[in-house]
Each structure stands twice: as C-alpha cells, then as structure tokens.
Amino acid sequence: MSSTHSRTSPTITPSTSTAPVLTARGLTKSYGSVHALAGVDLEIGRGESVAVMGPSGSGKTTLLHVLSGIIAPDAGSVRLHGGEPLEITSLGEGERARLRRERLGFVFQDGLLLPELTAVENVAMPLMLRGTARAEAQQVAASWLSALGLAGMEERRPGELSGGQRQRVAIARAQAGEPDVVFADEPTGALDSDTSSSVMDALIDSTVSRGRTLVVVTHDDDVAARCGRLVRVRDGRILDDVRRPDAAAHEEATR
C-alpha cells in the first residue's frame, strides 16, 4: 500500500470486475458467554450495496467491525481483494489501522467530525495522514464537498451545519481516498425521514453508481430497501441473504 496518492477529482471509472471485494469465512467472536459471531461466511462483490439488519445484540455491528478490521475475530478469516489482496485477519493492529486509512471508508451515525476543523479540513485530514500535501488534499476535499451539494460550505465548522449536511461531509471524507469499500453504521439513525432519504441518495450515488462497494448496518427498513442486497443476522448467524433482482441489474450496469 502506497503512502502517497494523487487525487484530483471525485469522478472515477466504475470497475468492470465481477470478482468479490470481501470474502469472510468461519468468523467467530465472543464476549464472555455471548457469541456475537458464531461461524459467519459472507462474500460481497465489487459494486454491491449490502444492508445488514438484525435486532440489538444480533451481531450485525460486530460483523461490520470484523469485516473492516476495526476488531479481530476469535477465529476465521476476512480477505480484501483488489489491487493488493490482503488477509485482514492476519494483520496486526497497526497494519489494520493503516488498511482502514488507505483502502476503506467509514460513515458513522453521528459523523464523528472534528468540531474544531472546517468541513474541507475534516475531509482533507485523512488524505494528509496518508501523505498527501495539504493543498492537494484540500482540493480533493473541496471537489467532493461540491459533488455532494456542499459547495460554498467548505469553511463552515460542524456546529454551523445541519445534521444532513454533517453526514454529507462524513460521506465526502469516506470517499475522498477512493476506498475499496465504504462501511456505514446507522448513517441515518439521527436524521428525520426526508433528510435520511437525501443522505442515502448521496451515499449510494458516491459508491454503487461509481462502481464501489457499500456495506450498511441499519435498523431502518427504508434504508435497507435502498440497498441491492439484504443480509439478516440473528444470534451471530446469517438467517437469510436476499438480493433484489432489479438491484442486481442496476449494479451490473454500473460495473
């Protein structure tokens, strides 16, 4: 993985590959007597949008955290395919942190923006941590903010933005590094229904329509319905895994 990257535009060419981007096999994770994951197998393709749903305590957030390398499983493997295939579960904590910084994107429920930084600085910061020069990083950040409908708001701090605008900044930050996969954990959980819909439009347009992969953990049926595939989890196991036929055609067209 390179420590420096040249990024000048949010526009990319959708991938033509139908190969998987993530492959998980036999994932287990326990917290004391609680089995958060109990032998999960899952394969996610490039350009897919996947919603992971389940009741509280079902293991869905643990699954997202293991797939993205935030935590390590007790057993099993996660492989990230692409330009440089990696066995995520064989990496140390520092290597997983680097992986998340360089090849993955994240959008959380509350955005996790730094309140003292402006919108453009929040988006540019991860690029600068990867070695990109400040001027270039801010140029890329401004391009993404504009693409997500925030032109003219680059110098506003999070406290000066609405909830939906803050989530768009978080999406821009996730996308600016051109990640292989974007993970979103309840990205609309703190928003009203109208704002939730517009944020999901922005999230899907910046991932699936550009040939990237989106994995969303959500309690919201409307959010899940926007994704091309629904994975239901209960008691640490996958109950069902359903792909919408119309979404399959759309996703294939974006590759």
- pLDDT for res 18: 58
How does residue 12 score in pLDDT terms, banded at 50, 70 and 90?
very low
Q: Which tokens hold the place of 173?
A: 């930050």
pLDDT at 154 over 70: yes
Q: Residue 250's pLDDT band (boundaries 50, 70, 90)?
A: very low
Q: At what angle do helices 119-129 and 134-147 cross, to 10 degrees?
A: 130
What does pTM read for this prediction?
Answer: 0.86
What is the reported pLDDT for 111? 66
Q: Quick one: CATH architecture of 20-109+179-254?
A: 3-Layer(aba) Sandwich (3.40)
Instruction: Report yes or no: 61 and 218 within 8 Å, Cβ to Cβ.
Output: no
Domain range list for the chain? 20-109+179-254
pLDDT for residue 192 is more than 90: no
Two tokens at 67?
A: 């797939």
Interval 229-241 mean pLDDT = 96
More confident residue, 190 or 243: 243
CA distances from 129 to 123, 153, 180, 217, 225 (A): 11, 23, 18, 27, 35
What's the average model confidence in pLDDT over 13-33? 79
Average pLDDT value for residue range 14-21: 59
Question: What is the pLDDT, as a whole number, of residue 6?
Answer: 41
Helix (H), strand (E), coil (C) string for the chain: CCCCCCCCCCCCCCCCCCCEEEEEEEEEEEECCEEEEEEEEEEEECCCEEEEECCCCCCHHHHHHHHCCCCCCCEEEEEECCCCCEEHHHCCHHHHHHHHHHHEEEEECCCCCCCCCCHHHHHHHHHHHCCCCHHHHHHHHHHHHHHCCCCCCCCCCHHHCCHHHHHHHHHHHHHCCCCCEEEEECCCCCCCHHHHHHHHHHHHHCCHHHCCEEEEECCCHHHHHCCCEEEEEECCEEEEEEECHHHHHHHHHHC
Are 14 and 179 within 8 A, CB to CB? no
Per mean pLDDT, which range of 60-69, 92-101, 188-197 is the poorest? 188-197
Q: Is the confidence at residue 128, as pLDDT, over 80?
A: yes
Average pLDDT over residues 15-31: 82
pLDDT, tens digit, for every residue of 39-96?
Answer: 999 999 999 999 999 999 999 999 999 999 999 999 999 999 977 789 999 999 999 9
Q: pLDDT band for position 247 (50/70/90)?
A: low
Which pLDDT score is estimated for 190? 81
Average pLDDT over residues 92-109: 92
The mean pLDDT value of the chain amounts to: 88
Write down the pLDDT at residue 245. 72
Closest CA to 7 of 102, 123, 137, 128: 137
246 pLDDT tier (thresholds 50, 70, 90): low
